[in-house]
C-alpha cells in the first residue's frame, strides 16, 4: 500500500515565496537552478530576480542525518553572478552551505527558506496557507 502524499516526510525542502505565492520544493536532485527564466528548475516570479540567479548544489555533510545538504551559489552555471546579489540570513554571499531554517533573499519580493528537518505535508500546508507542493 502506498502512503498518501500527506504522509510523506520531506527531509530537504525549499519553500519559495514570490508573486505567485508560496511553493514547497522537495529537494532530491544533484543540482537546481533558480531564477525568473522558465528554463530554471525552480522558477522565481520576480522582476528583481536575475534570469539565472542562483544554483543549489547537493553536497556531502557529516552533520546531516542522511549525509548530505545543499550549498547555494550566487549566479549561473557559467559563473556569472546575479545582478542584485544573494543574501542568506541578511548577509550577502557568493556561496554558502545551507543550514536548517536559512532564509534566502533572492530579490526584494522573493525569498526562500531551506528546511533540513523531517517535515510532513500536513505541517507544511498548515504553516503556509495556499502552499503548492512541487516535485512529488
Q: Over the stretch 66-94, which tens digit does the pLDDT of each residue have? A: 788 999 999 999 999 999 999 999 999 99
Inform me whether the pLDDT recorded for 128 exceeds 60: no
Q: How confident is the model at residue 58, as a pLDDT?
A: 95
Identify the H or E element spanning 122: helix 121-127
Q: Which residue's C-alpha cell is 544533484?
A: 30
Phi, psi of 56 (to 5 degrees): -110, 125
Q: How high is the pLDDT of residue 67?
A: 84
Confidence at residue 129, expressed as pLDDT on a 0 to 100 scale: 53
Q: What is the mean pLDDT of the chain?
A: 85
CA 53-15-89 angle, to 5 degrees, is 65
> Domain 8-127 belongs to what topology?
Tumour Suppressor Smad4 (2.60.200)
Burial tier of 69 (Cβ tally within 10 Å: 0-12, 13-18, 19+):
buried
Amino acid at each position: 500500500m502506498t502512503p498518501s502524499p500527506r504522509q510523506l516526510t520531506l527531509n530537504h525542502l525549499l519553500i519559495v515565496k514570490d508573486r505567485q505565492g508560496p511553493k514547497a520544493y522537495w529537494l532530491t536532485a544533484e543540482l537546481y537552478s533558480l531564477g525568473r527564466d522558465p528554463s530554471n528548475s525552480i522558477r522565481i516570479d520576480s522582476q528583481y530576480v536575475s534570469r539565472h540567479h542562483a544554483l543549489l548544489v547537493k553536497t556531502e555533510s557529516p552533520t546531516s542525518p542522511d549525509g548530505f545538504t545543499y550549498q547555494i551559489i550566487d549566479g549561473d552555471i557559467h559563473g556569472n553572478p546575479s545582478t542584485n546579489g544573494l543574501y542568506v540570513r541578511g548577509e550577502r554571499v557568493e556561496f554558502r552551505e545551507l543550514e536548517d531554517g536559512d532564509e534566502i533573499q533572492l530579490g526584494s519580493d522573493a525569498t526562500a527558506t531551506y528546511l533540513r528537518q523531517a517535515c510532513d505535508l500536513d505541517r507544511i500546508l498548515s504553516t503556509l496557507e495556499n502552499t503548492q507542493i512541487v516535485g512529488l
